[in-house]
Amino acid sequence: MIVKFSVNKAMTHSTSDTLAQSVASALRQAIQDGVYTCGDRLVELAISQEMSVSQNTARDAIYILEREGWAQKRARHGSFVRTFTRDEAEEVYALWAAVSALALSWALENIHRARLMQNLQPVVTQAHSVADAGHGHSVLAAIFNFHQVLASVIDRIGGRPQTAELLMRLRNQARLLELLREKQAPRTLEQWQALVAAYETLLGIIKFGDSYAAKSAIRQRIEADGAALLAVCYR
């Protein structure tokens, strides 16, 4: 399948980025925008022609997506945007909840709470703003940015790179599942606003609660989102 998307924007990259990383970034954005969906094949030749890069570069970019959890290789069939059985989806959310709770606990032990809030608060504020404007897709992006920021903080400041890497992989897979949910059963404006309100409550617990309360809150939040997704996508 050949997919059209903006090559010029996609190929803008800093000198520290490799070409394969730039192509991977473009493909990642295409997945998040719904250009590619779960189960779509990622064809090296088509990607290389579309983005004017070598087939080896396209292959390397797809490998990056596989390592990050966005794609999977199937023996003798090629690479595809990741799909999930019900058991796999349930496992993603169970692991994500557990690792997020551990990461937040470590963050609160090793990072000044004000500094942690300085990183997380703007993301939730942005989610609130786009929810009020009725931009559901942007709310989803902001919510997952919250988890990306947590992974980044635990890596940069908390000194837990393995946890951060695992957290991002699980976060990416959950993002794919949430995109699938939005395709099958889009949330209403009220549901988006309720989701943002839940994250505002979580943020308040992180700001004022103890470590145990914050760890429990983020775990329960993710588990609730996982249960809702399973009910919609795997009836």
pLDDT at 72: 96
Among 203, 175, 8, 22, residue whose Cα is nearest residue 96: 175
Residue 17 pLDDT greater than 90, yes or no? no
Is the pLDDT assigned to residue 56 strictly greater than 60?
Answer: yes
Among residues 168, 214, 146, 225, the alpha carbon closest in space to that of 192 is found at 225
CATH 2.130.10.10 is the classification of domain 7-81:
no
Which residue do the tokens 């970034």 mark? Answer: 25
Return the structure tokens found at 78: 């090629």
135 to 11, 88, 128: CA distances (angstroms): 26, 29, 10
d(CA 60, CA 55): 9
Is residue 69 predicted with pLDDT exceeding 50? yes
- Residue whose C-alpha is closest to residue 3's, from 36, 31, 37, 32: 36
Q: Which two tokens stand for residue 8?
A: 């010029």
Task: Tell me the per-residue pLDDT of 36-48, one tens digit each, with 9 for 90 and over.
Answer: 999 999 999 999 9
Ordered by start, the domain boundaries in the chain are 7-81, 86-233
State the average pLDDT for the chain: 90
CATH number of 86-233: 1.20.120.530
pLDDT in tens, 121-151: 999 999 999 998 888 889 999 999 999 999 9
Residue 78 parent element (H or E): strand 78-81
Count of CB atoms situated within 10 Å of the CB of 93: 22
Percent of the chain with pLDDT over 70: 93
pLDDT of residue 159: 87
Beta bridge partners of 73: 79
8 Å CB contact between 158 and 108: no
Q: What is the mean pLDDT of residues 79-104?
A: 97
